[in-house]
Amino acid sequence: MRDWFRRRGLVRPRRGRVVAGVCRGLAEQLGTSAWLLRLLAVLSILLPGPQLIAYIVLWILMPSEP
């Protein structure tokens, strides 16, 4: 699964991480601001649903940048 993420360019960068680098990696892939995704992630955790679990799963599955 980690190879699948790596082939698509979804990696957690070593620099600029705040917690795990998931939002930063997604922002680089989507071409948007990392702070915008971080804000959306924090706001979405306030809503009911599996957002925190999804973040943790991405933290585990997304490989770190070499």
pLDDT of residue 9: 81
Which pLDDT does position 2 carry in this prediction? 77
pLDDT class of 65 with cuts at 50, 70, 90: confident
The count of domains in the chain is 1
* Domain contains 25: yes
Full domain range(s) for residue 37:
2-12+19-61
The answer to whether residue 32 is domain-embedded is: yes
The rounded distance, in Å, linking the Cα atoms of 28 and 40 is: 15
In-domain check, residue 40: yes
Render pLDDT for 12-54 as a digit per residue (tens, 0 to 9).
Answer: 888 888 888 899 999 988 999 999 999 999 999 899 989 989 9
66 part of a folded domain? no
∠ CA 43-20-62, rounded to 5°: 105
Residue 55 burial by Cβ neighbours in a 10 Å radius (0-12, 13-18, 19+): middle
Q: Is residue 46 part of a domain?
A: yes
Q: Are 41 and 54 in contact (CB under 8 A)?
A: no
Q: What pTM value is reported for the model?
A: 0.78
